[in-house]
Structure 1
Amino acid sequence: MQTRGTAGCSSKLLNCRYPCKASRPSTVGRILRLNDLVTSHDVFRRLADSLSMATDEAFFEQLVAALGEMLGVDYVMLARVDADACEATSLALWAHGQLVDNIRYPLLGTPCEQVNGQAACHYPNGVCSLFPDDPMLAELNAEAYLGVPMYTPDGRALGLVAALHTQPIDMSRHAEEVLRITAARAGAELARQESEQHHREQLLSTNRALKLLSRCNQALIQTEQEQQLLEAICQLAVDIGGYRMAWVGYARHDDAKHIAPQASAGNAQGYLDQITLSWSAQQRNGRGPAGRTVRSGEPVIIQDLANDPSFISWREMALRHGFRSILCLPLKRGDQVFGILALYQSNTDSISSEERQLLCELADNLAFGIDTLRQRIAQQRIQHAVLKIASAVSARSGEEFLDQLTHHMAEALDAELAFIARIDPADPTRAHTLTIVIDGQRQPNFSYTLPGTPCEDVLFETEYIVHDDADKRLPVEGREALSWVRAYAGRRLDNAAGEPFGLLGVMFSQPLHSTELVTSVLQIFAAGVAAELERQEDEARIRRLAYLDPGTGLPNRIAFTQRLESALSCTGCPQIGLMLLDLNRFKDINDTLGHDIGDKVLAAVADAFSGTLMGNEYLARLGGDEFVVLIAPSDAYTITDTAERLLGSLTAPLQLDEQAFELDVSIGIAFYPDDAGSARELLKHADIAMYQAKQQNVPYRFFEAHMGAALALRLDMTKRLAAALADGALSLHFQPQVDLTTLRLTGAEVLCRWHDPELGTVSPAEFIPLAEERGMIVPLGNWVIDATCRQLAAWQAEGLVVPGQLAINVASRQFDDNQLIDTLQHSCAKHGIAASQLGLELTESGFMSDPDQAIAMTEALKRLGFGLSIDDFGTGYSSLAYLKRFAADKIKIDMSFVADMLESDNDHAIVTTIIAMARTLQMETVAEGVETAEQAEALLALGCQQAQGYYFGQPLTGEAFAKQWLTPMLVE
Structure 2
Amino acid sequence: MNDLVTSHDVFRRLADSLSIATDDGFFAQLATALSEIMGVDYVMIAQVDDDGLHATTLALCARGKLVDNIRYPLAGTPCEQVTGRAPCHFSQHVCQRFPDDALLAELDVEAYLGVPMSAPDGRTLGLLAAMHSHPINTSRHAEEVMRIAAARAGSELARQESDHHHRQQLLSTNRALKLLSRCNEALIQADHEQQLLEAICQLAVEIGGYRMAWVGYAQHDDERRIEPQASAGNVQGYLDQISLSWSAQHPNGKGPSGRTVRSGKPVIINDLANDPGFVHWRALALQNGFHSMICLPLKRGGQVFGILALYQSNTHPISDEERQLLCELADNLAFGIDTLRQRIAQQRIQRAVLKIASAVSARSGEEFLDQLTHHMAEALDAELAFIARLDERDSTRANTLTIVIDGQRQPNFSYTLPGAPCEDVLIEAECIVHDEAGKRLPVEGREALTWVRAYAGRRLDNAAGEPMGLLGVMFAEPLQDTELVSSVLQIFAAGVAAELERQEDETRIRRLAYRDPGTGLPNRTAFMQRLEGALEAPGGARLGLMLLDLNRFKDINDTLGHDIGDKVLAAVANSFSGALVGNEYLARLGGDEFVVLAEPSDVYAITHTAERLLRSLAAPLQLDEQAFELDASIGIAFYPDDAGSARELLKHADIAMYQAKQQDVPFRFFEEHMGAALASRLVMAKRLAAALTDGGLSLHFQPQVDLASGCLVGAEVLCRWHDDELGTVSPAVFIPLAEERGMIVPLGNWVIDATCRQLAAWQAAGLVMPGQLAINVASRQFDDNQLIATLQRCCSRHGVAASQLGLELTESGFMSDPDQAVAITEALKRLGFGLSIDDFGTGYSSLAYLKRFAADKIKIDMSFVADMLQSDNDHTIVTTIIAMARSLKMETIAEGVEHAEQADALLALGCQQAQGYHFSKPLTGERFAERWLAPILVN
Calculate the TM-score normalised by the size of structure 2: 0.47
Calculate the TM-score normalised by the size of structure 1: 0.45
